[in-house]
Structure formats: structure tokens, C-alpha cells
Amino acid sequence: MSENHSKPTADDIRCAILAAERGLWIDPSEHPNEYWDCKLYDPTGQRAGEGQAFSAGEAMGLAWLHAHAPDALTEREVEPGSVPFKIADGWRFELTPPLAIRD
């Protein structure tokens, strides 16, 4: 998991890709109050993706995956090289922690 929660690490992105390919992502409706939510905004400020997971890093990785391979979760396939492992400046990951740990 990313230590400073500002962006996902390469490992977070790899985990998101594996989760998509293996169908191991969570359904947030089945885990209310237990997941991290991440909204991703591109350098122009437009919403580009989202992700939900049990860790901040994986939620950010899934949001990044969503921006670069939007059908990855439904297709359970990620084209090699389609998802960069380095995050360029200007991308913003907005995290919301699980309700259980807010406060």
C-alpha cells in the first residue's frame, strides 16, 4: 500500500491488474463501511476513474487501472503495456477512508 496515500505504487497497480484479471475485486455494496474509495482526476481536473478496495493503495491502483483500461473488470483482461506504472505529475487521487475508521 502507498505509504503517503498520494498516489499508488507500482506494486499497488500490479495488484489491481491481478485483481481484475482474477475477478478478485470487491463489490462495495457487499462491504458497506469497510472499503477505501478513490476518485481519480486527470491533470485537467476531469474525473478519470474510480476504485474501491480494502486498502488505500489498492483503491488507488484500481482507479488508475479504470482510467487506462476501463473494461478491465468486466473483461477480466488487461492488455500488456496499456496501464503505466509511473504516474505523471498532475493526476490527483482523492481518497475516502472506510466509514469504520473515519473520526
Sheet containing 92-96: give its strands across: 47-53, 36-41, 92-96
* Interval 21-78: pLDDT, tens: 998 888 888 888 899 999 999 999 999 999 999 999 999 999 999 999 988 888 888 9
- Please tell me the predicted confidence (pLDDT) of residue 2: 36
**Of 88, 82, 18, whose CA–CA distance to 53 is shortest?**
18
Extents of the domains making up the chain: 10-101
- Please tell me the predicted confidence (pLDDT) of residue 32: 82
Q: Helices 10-22 and 56-68: crossing angle, nearest 10°? A: 70
Residue 3 above 50 pLDDT?
Answer: no
